Structure 1
Amino acid sequence: MDDQSFESRFNMTRRSAYSRWLNDPTLNVAMTLNFNRPISLANARTAIGQCFGKVDRKLLGTRFTRRRNDRTTGVFVFEHLKSNLHAHGLLRVAPERIERFGEMFPPTQRGLWSDVWAGGSQWTTNADRPAGFAFYMAKEQHASSAPETMLFLEDFFPTEG
């Protein structure tokens, strides 16, 4: 058996594992954030962190950093690192805040993301099948993918203590 077939099998197994891992019904929003111009991975990560800081400020008020358990959580996976970098995410938004969250990311207009990243665009929908979207998100994740290509929103929460 050649290395390519082993790598292909490994990558398909990994995608299936992502689907099982992210098949959590509390992950209720699927999102893609586009930058629409060249950007480094580090700056892309920072921009998404800033965006969700603003989301939580609007949803929870100015003391949102003290409300860790109420904050918007989730995971983003970056793809096309060398051209057209963008991020796919699955998020957990409290059901009582989902309408206000949707108002921040309207499907056909500029929203909070384009306020944070000029020229940015977003696609957002309810995640009725998180496992299916997780499988799609992981399409460019490989055994050799850098850990930085995955972003957990919790990484931007202040540490306790």
Structure 2
Amino acid sequence: MQDGVAAIALFNFTESGKALTGNINTKDYPFAGELLQPNNGPWDLPKDGLLLFDPATQSVHNLTQSFTTNVANFDAKMVFLYPKVNGWAVIGRQDKYLPAAAVTLTSVTNSQISFTLEESGPLLIWSQNGAPKMAEHSFKSLGNGLYLANIPVAIGRTQLTVTR
């Protein structure tokens, strides 16, 4: 996906009737670049590291070790890997299947991040160094540096800047 976000899908279509355990780690990230067309080879690991977002639990995990999850029999699970940049990651629209697809980063510094939302709506953002702030909206902590701003859904692109 754009801005170096990788989607990883786990499937369990075995006939065992049992849940399977899946592990995701930083070694999985480079392969995302090889799935894009044109194939420009594997992606480099981001210098600031990776953040894993699990939409099912609405949680983030610092991907310094393997992330382990269970997938029920005849079920699937999708997670997303985000590059951390200066202690930020814009997860995207909470109400979308591919949250990052609604976001395009414009600029990132230690104190602020600017980006475009294709359509306004509930926004998830991760901040390593304190609570994010926006002029017109407040953020609620979901834990582990993940924050939610309940921005009303609206059609049309919106340029946003978040500070801390």
Question: What TM-score comes out, normalization by structure 1 length?
Answer: 0.27
* Structure possessing the higher relative contact order (Cα contacts under 8 Å, 6 or more residues apart): 1
Answer 1 or 2: which has greater strand percent: 2
Larger helix percent: 1
